[in-house]
Amino acid sequence: MEFNQNFVFGCSAIGAGLAVIAGIGPGVGQGIAAGHGAAAVGRNPGAKGDIMSTMLLGQAVAETTGLYGLLVAMLLMFVKPFVK
């Protein structure tokens, strides 16, 4: 199947833009988690270590979604398998 080169570049740019939008969700989720973590430490300062470690682990897991979106965007922008 033969594709026009400009069509492939255009679709890749649109797809990369949509993939980068995936970074919004983790940003919002990490902000909410940090806010709740700070509130929990304020209520119980003695459990700061446990609260912070659990919060940071959750934020690291949430960040992988944003990194996958960035990886997909970079692949779409720089790898063009249908262009000869």
Of residues 2 and 14, more confidently modeled:
14
DSSP string spanning the chain?
Answer: ----HHHHHHHHHHHHHHHHGGGHHHHHHHHHHHHHHHHHHHH-GGGHHHHHHHHHHHHHHHHHHHHHHHHHHHHHHH--TT--
Domains assigned to the chain: 5-77 (1.20.20.10)
Give yes or no for residue 83 having a pLDDT over 70. no
pLDDT digits (tens, 9 = 90+) for 52-81: 999 889 888 888 888 998 999 999 888 876
